[in-house]
Amino acid sequence: MRIPPGSFAFTLMLGLLATLPTFGIDMLLPAMSATGAALGVPPARIGLAMSVYLLGLGGALLFYGPVSDRYGRKPVAIFGCAITMIASIGCASAPSLPALLAWRVVQGAGTAAPGMMAVAIVRDLFDEKAARAKISFIVGAINVVPMIAPTCGAVILALAGWRLIYLPAFGAALLLLLVMSRGFTESASIDTTSSLTPGTVVNNYLSVLRNPACIGYILVNAAAAGAVFAYITGSSLFFINVLGLGPEQYGLIFGASSISVMGGAFLNGRLGLLGIAPGQLLTLGLVLSTVFSSLLLVATLGGWTSESLVVSVMVGVALSFGFISPNATSGAMQPLPRIAGSVSAVVGLLQTTASAGSSAVVAIFFDGHSALSMAGAMLFFSLLAAGFYLRVVYPDRKILA
């Protein structure tokens, strides 16, 4: 039975599509130490499971984008769900770190398809104002899973061990596969006379890269995501390995930052309805991210990193992302509607590349006794986002003026 695009059920479907990639990230966080112990490697090395997952996700987007523009969003989403199911079983049965990392790459490649299709479907079906509201919902929905996943992961870890932590992704992918197969009608306007040649694919991506507004907003969103992933990876290492908190306690702390992103996205939507320009809301988010990241770095260098301070900074940066991401993503999607899949692919690719790089840097440079790698990465990416806005977006800010 077809789900009407204007219905609440359709909005929920978009949210589930968008959240599938997060099942492969946040459920893992409380189990990093346990996974490392079981596989005979330091906990920081398990941080690489986050990085390779994001690299697999980002690399697959380059394939899914043009394919979805040519053949539609539905078959790509269904294919990604099937790959996610297979890879999740592989992760759960991995006998060693190399095997786990290999399956994590495949899992990331699978979840990439449903995740990016959510944004492309919004651009297919809704005008600019409605699309911005839908994207705000998607950003909020993406953080429902992070809000509960660490706690759920901790419960699964306590009851059944780290391997079963990968099975909720299997269940979510199966549900989406059934919903998309039976309830979704193709949203893309497909030109059956066009061919998916390498030249066409390259030209589409060059069109995205050459459009100042499009690439500018994409870079802002990617850098802001890098700041968020610095605390996603670093907070687990800091709270569990430095402060000695249990996985259940960490799950509650991480949930607070997820609620903050949802709150930022909600406020962004409400303030937009009151007539505040998206560009102003984006600027507010960039300022908040930079201020909070600076505060954490100064406090870390001074040796003042109390639990309450780090939590406050996490919440502040998360709140800022709720303002940045919906407006930057909406701005990126507006100029090139004909190749919305390719634009969405570049959005996802650069976001995951920045996130993977940030996650890897934090894990590699974690010193075992401070939040320095997390704080430094957060400030770097916050400043990078602000720099992209000032140098690339601001001179050509027609879309969100």
Provide long-range contacts, Cβ within 8 A and 24+ apart, for 87-93. 88/24, 88/166, 88/167, 88/169, 88/170, 88/173, 89/166, 89/170, 91/166, 92/163, 92/164, 92/165, 92/166, 92/167, 93/163
| CATH node for 8-181+197-396 | 1.20.1250.20
The per-residue pLDDT for 252 is 75
In this prediction, residue 193 carries a pLDDT of 66
**pLDDT at position 173:** 93
Environment class of 263 (CB within 10 Å of its CB; exposed 0-12, middle 13-18, buried 19+):
middle
Tell the residue number behind the tokens 């984008």, with chain if given.
65
Question: Would you state the pLDDT for residue 401?
Answer: 46
Give pLDDT < 50 ranges for the chain: 399-401
Q: What is the DSSP string of 206-256?
A: HHHHH-HHHHHHHHHHHHHHHHHHHHHHHHHIIIIIIS---HHHHHHHHHH
Alpha-carbon distance 323 to 278, whole Å?
9
CA–CA distance from 306 to each of 110, 256, 315 (Å)? Answer: 39, 16, 14
Give percent helix, percent strand, percent coil of the chain, each to the nearest 5. 85, 0, 15
Q: Name the CA dihedral angle for 299, 300, 301, 302, rounded to a multiple of 10 degrees.
A: 50
Q: What is the pLDDT of residue 1?
A: 62
Return the domain boundaries, the chain: 8-181+197-396
Residue 331 CA: distances (Å) to CA of 33, 83, 153, 203 = 40, 31, 35, 21
Backbone angles phi, psi at 244, to 5 degrees: 80, 20
